């Protein structure tokens, strides 16, 4: 009855994805952590605002698939660092629009460069075509 299971963790996609994600994140984390004392979620929120301009916390939750409490905490932290500002919407006072301050934007600009440099370095071992396939694949898996 006992099957001769030859199951290798390296055949299990979630495991591989986690290992790869961890490896790259561990390497990149110091960039924003050391420079700006930011947490991963803060980094993500900053990037969403930097890229999309302005959005509500809810929109960030939906787009980035982060739980609202995590976003809430990240927003507070970024606010305390004076990287973003909230603005209550008069037509619906439950919403608040978030946007980067000038200093938030300059931090964003710096971190974008770091990210691009990091990504370029990471992908040197792969051809442009491989990189594109990868991205497409991951986007499908993550349902982005």
Residues 46, 49, 57, 100: which binds DNA (CB under 7 A)?
57
Query: Which of 94, 143 has the CB closer to DNA?
Result: 94
Query: Which of 3, 93 has the CB closer to DNA?
Result: 93
Alpha carbons 34 and 39: distance in angstroms, whole number: 10
Give the 3-state secondary structure of the chain: CCCCCCCCHHHCHHHHHHHHHHHHHHHHHHHHHHHHCCCHHHHHHHHHHHHHCEEEHHHHHHHHCCCHHHHHHHHHHHHHCCCEEEEECCCCCCCEEEEECHHHHHHHHHHHHHHHHHHHHHHHHCCHHHHHHHHHHHHHHHCC
Which 116-135 positions form the footprint of its own copies (CB under 8 A)?
A: 116, 118-119, 122-123, 125-126, 130-131, 133-135
Q: Taking CB under 8 A as the rule, does residue 61 contact its own copies?
A: no
Instruction: Find the largest Cα–Cα distance for the chain.
Output: 67
Query: Which of 2, 69 has the CB closer to DNA?
Result: 69
The window from 11-19, 54-62, 75-83, 89-97 that contacts its own copies (CB under 8 A) reads 11-19
Which 63-92 positions form the footprint of its own copies (CB under 8 A)?
A: 65
Q: Taking CB under 7 A as the rule, does residue 40 contact DNA?
A: yes
Q: Taking CB under 8 A as the rule, does residue 8 contact its own copies?
A: yes
Q: Which does 124 bind (CB under 5 to 8 A by kind): its own copies, DNA, none?
A: none
């Amino acid at each position: 009855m006992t099957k001769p299971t030859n199951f290798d963790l390296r055949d299990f996609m979630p495991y591989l994805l986690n290992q790869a994600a961890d490896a790259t994140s561990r390497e990149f984390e110091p960039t924003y952590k050391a420079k700006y004392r930011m947490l991963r979620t803060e980094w993500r929120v900053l990037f969403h605002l930097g890229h999309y301009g302005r959005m509500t916390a809810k929109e960030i939750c939906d787009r980035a698939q982060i739980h609202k409490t995590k976003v809430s905490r990240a927003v507070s932290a970024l606010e305390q660092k004076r990287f973003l500002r909230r603005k209550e919407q008069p037509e619906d006072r439950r919403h608040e629009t978030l946007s980067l301050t000038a200093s938030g934007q300059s931090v964003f600009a710096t971190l974008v460069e770091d990210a691009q440099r990091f990504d370029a370095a990471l992908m040197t071992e792969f051809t442009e075509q491989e990189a594109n396939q990868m991205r497409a694949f991951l986007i499908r898996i993550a349902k982005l």
